[in-house]
Amino acid sequence: MAPDDTIEIPEPENQELLQDLSEKGNTAELVEMFEELPTMDVAEFMEEKPIEEVIEFLHKLDIEDQGRIFSDFSQTIQLKLFHALDRRSFAEVFAHMFSDIRADLYQELSKEEQIELLPYLNKKVREDVLILSAYPPETAGGIMTTDFATIFADMSAAEALEKIRKDAPSKEMIYYIYVVDHSMVMKGLVTLKDLVLHNPKDKVLEMLNEFFVYAEVNEDRESVAQKIEKYDLVAIPVLNSLNQLVGVVSHEEAIDIIRAEQAEDFEKFGGIMTSPNDDEYLQTSSFHHFKKRVVWVVSLAAIGIISGMIISAYQGILESFIILAMYMPMMAATGGNTGSQAATVIIRSLSLGEIHDEDWPRIIFKEVKISLMLSITVAILTYLKIAFLSYHALLPTGFSMGYIAFTISLAIAIQVITSAIIGAGLPLIVRRMGGDPAVVASPAISTVVDITGLLIYFSVASYTFGIS
């Protein structure tokens, strides 16, 4: 038997397969594939179709499959379907969605739409949606789902499996089974594997994991994601202040949060103000983008004027040694670059937990060593460039090109080391004061080392040339 004809081909091929069946009008097989293929592939296929066709497709499926596929649609399509369907049909699909995605969708509806929808929902769904919508989106409560399975500690493994069989709707993730008392106070958890591998007569109490990791309902979602990551969890239970089990956050949410958190650091470092409710790039209005950028642009422009004042103060020396003006932008570029590099490495290492703010003496010492090597490299190249290639420049009597080259190279060497210390130091200081080190934006570092760079440059020049 040749292996290549024995396996079904997943992924991009799945889109083609669906497209193919759809073009041939082979509806029976198409519907069968909707049931069999990974949900995300089916959802992506449907999203490309006109909304009427999507409705037609959905109606051919049983309600559980509808809820599953609907949950994987983008929110834009979900909202379109809300508007295209009558309230009663929508309410039916809505009842079979994943509870966390359902609550997110509900919050996107207008107040009037919410009020229109509620009477069509049964009591259980209505309560679930309203409770989940009440938690702030940046907390465990705001991202949790209520699709989980519970059992009691005094059940036998067989009884527990029987309860799960009866309770568990198809959408539920039952890797962990939560053990609660009759007031939903959580006593521990067992894995489905524990239940299956134990003797059916064994009591749940005997296999109970009492020392489980949990999240509090008001806990910051970043902390929830970190627990999932640290303890390699598939899902984490969420408890309220009475230790009642109110929800579960799954590993997919952790991935989303970690992505969002790192993207936020990246934006902050690039000089963009972020907020947890930011939309996608093209969906965000230009004015909103403007607001996220303008504060940094204006502040740094204002600070940039200080550099101008320094230049104007050293006008005299600049007029005598116009060659100094030629190397000013290089000073600024080199300083900005080494400062940004140092800040990047420190922010990244802090966020990955590789270094901690109490390590600062070792970090600064290391940055001094690294920047010393960089400064020697850059200084030598600068010296060679000036001493041997700038032979045509006019100089005041008594100054050799070698002397000028030495002066400029020395200034650049000092600038490189200073910039690395500033670039590494600022994020460490912000962290120590309890802030997010990524707020030390790269453009801000460039602007600061522009100023220190000019001061170093002109001080060194005044000193070695003996004038000011």
Q: 313-372: which residues touch its own copies (CB under 8 A)?
A: 315, 318-319, 322, 325-334, 336-338, 340-341, 343-349, 351-352, 354-355, 359, 362-363, 366, 369-370
Per DSSP (E only), the strands in 69-147 are none
CA distance 459 to 468: 8
Q: Is there binding between residue 161 and its own copies (CB under 8 A)?
A: yes
Residue with tokens 């590789």: 354
Interacting span for its own copies (CB under 8 A) from 50-58, 110-118, 133-141, 250-258: 250-258
Q: What share of the chain is helix, strand, coil (3-state, %, to 5)?
A: 65, 5, 25
Shortest distance, CB of residue 297 to its own copies, whole angstroms?
5
Q: Is there binding between residue 267 and its own copies (CB under 8 A)?
A: yes
Pick from 46, 97, 374, 461 the residue near its own copies by CB under 8 A.
374
CA distance 361 to 347: 16
Pick from 23, 211, 361, 434 the residue near its own copies by CB under 8 A.
211
Pick from 244, 320, 462, 464 the residue near its own copies by CB under 8 A.
244
Burial of 361 (0-12, 13-18, 19+ CB in 10 A): exposed
Interacting span for its own copies (CB under 8 A) from 23-31, 108-116, 133-141, 164-172: 164-172
Which parts of 231-359 fold into alpha helices (H)? 251-269, 286-313, 315-320, 322-351
Shortest distance, CB of residue 265 to its own copies, whole angstroms?
7
| Residues touching its own copies, count (CB under 8 A) | 139
For the chain, give me the number of helices (H) and strands (E)? 22, 6
Shortest distance, CB of residue 120 to its own copies, whole angstroms?
28
Question: Measured between alpha carbons, how far is residue 439 from residues 90, 260, 367 in Å?
Answer: 44, 16, 20
Shortest distance, CB of residue 351 to its own copies, whole angstroms?
8
Task: List, edge to edge, every strand of the sheet that includes 215-216.
Answer: 215-216, 235-239, 245-250
Name which of residues 409 to 428 contact its own copies (CB under 8 A). Answer: 412, 416
Short-list 258, 260, 380, 394, CA closest to 320: 394
Which C-beta is closer to its own copies: that of 3 or that of 50?
Answer: 3
Shortest distance, CB of residue 309 to its own copies, whole angstroms?
7
CB burial readout 292-306, b (16+ within 10 A) else e = beeebeeebeeeeee
Interacting span for its own copies (CB under 8 A) from 109-117, 203-211, 398-406, 428-436: 203-211
CA distance 297 to 103: 38
Which C-beta is closer to its own copies: that of 121 or that of 404?
Answer: 404
Pick from 214, 406, 457, 458 the residue near its own copies by CB under 8 A.
214
Pick from 442, 452, 457, 460 the residue near its own copies by CB under 8 A.
442
Shortest distance, CB of residue 46 to its own copies, whole angstroms?
16
* Per-position x/- string for 96-135, each x denoting binding to its own copies as judged by CB under 8 A, each - no binding: ----------------------------------------
Which C-beta is closer to its own copies: that of 132 or that of 370?
Answer: 370
Which C-beta is closer to its own copies: that of 110 or that of 286?
Answer: 286
Which C-beta is closer to its own copies: that of 8 or that of 86?
Answer: 8
Contact yes or no for 211/199 (Cβ under 8 A)? no
Burial of 114 (0-12, 13-18, 19+ CB in 10 A): middle
Pick from 84, 115, 134, 196 the residue near its own copies by CB under 8 A.
196
Shortest distance, CB of residue 116 to its own copies, whole angstroms?
31
* Dihedrals phi, psi of 425, to nearest 5 degrees: -75, -45
* Residue 238 DSSP one-character state: E
